[in-house]
Amino acid sequence: MEILSQIGPALGIVFDPVNLFLITLGIILGVAFGVLPGFGGSQALALLFPFSFLMSPETAVMFMLAVYCAAEYGGSIPAILIRTPGTTAAVMTILDGAPMAANGRPRRALTISIAAGVTGGIISTFAFILLSSSLAWVGLKFGPGELFAVGVFGLSIVGSFVGADPLKGFLGATIGLLLATVGDSSFGGTRFVFDQPYLYDGVPLIVMIVAMLAGPEAFRLMARLRDFTPSAAVPDASSNSASGDKLSLTDYIKLMPTMIRGGLIGTVVGAIPGPGPTMAAVLAYNEERRWSKKPQKFGTGVDEGIAAPESSNNAVVAGALVPALALGIPGSGAIAILLGVLISKGITPGPALFSEGGPLVMAVFIGLLMANVILLVVGFFGLRLFVPIARVPAGVLGPFVMALLLIGVYAYDNSFSHVVMLVALGSFAFLLDKFGVSTLPVILGFVMGPIIETNLGRALIIHRGDLWAVVSGPITATLLVISAVAVVWSYIRTVRQTAVEEAEAGEQP
Residue 240: the pLDDT is 44
Alpha carbons within 13 A on the beta-carbon side of 333: 10
**Closest listed residue to residue 388, CA positions, set 500, 234, 162, 243:** 234
The rounded mean pLDDT for the chain is 78
Q: Rounded to a whole number, what is the distance in angstroms from the first to the last CA of the chain?
A: 69
Question: Which residues 6+ apart lie within 8 Å of 98 measured at CB?
Answer: 79, 80, 81, 83
pLDDT surpasses 70 at 238: no
pLDDT surpasses 80 at 56: yes
Task: Read off the amino acid at residue 65.
Answer: L
- Confidence band for 239, pLDDT divided at 50, 70 and 90: very low
**Closest listed residue to residue 106, CA positions, set 125, 123, 93, 121:** 93
**Which element (helix H / strand E) includes 394?**
helix 394-413
Alpha-helical (H) ranges within 303-359 are 303-327, 333-344, 352-356
Residue 502: the pLDDT is 65
Comparing 20-24, 234-238, 317-321, which segment has the lowest mean pLDDT? 234-238
Residue 237: the pLDDT is 47
Alpha carbons 111 and 405: distance in angstroms, whole number? 25
Residue 358: the pLDDT is 64
Higher pLDDT, 462 or 325: 462
Residue 232: the pLDDT is 53
pLDDT surpasses 70 at 188: no
- Confidence band for 112, pLDDT divided at 50, 70 and 90: very high
- Confidence band for 505, pLDDT divided at 50, 70 and 90: low
What would the pLDDT profile of 64-95 be if each residue is shown by its tens digit? 888 888 888 888 888 888 787 777 778 888 88
Q: What is the mean pLDDT of residues 341-360?
A: 68
pLDDT surpasses 80 at 509: no
Q: What is the mean pLDDT of residues 164-180?
A: 79
pLDDT surpasses 50 at 284: yes
Contact (Cβ atoms closer than 8 angstroms) between residue 386 and residue 379: no
Alpha carbons 441 and 459: distance in angstroms, whole number? 26
Residue 256: the pLDDT is 92
Alpha carbons 289 and 356: distance in angstroms, whole number? 44
Residue 260: the pLDDT is 92
pLDDT surpasses 60 at 133: no
Higher pLDDT, 37 or 372: 372
373 alpha carbon, distance to own chain's centre: 20
pLDDT surpasses 80 at 131: no
Task: Read off the amino acid at residue 75.
Answer: G
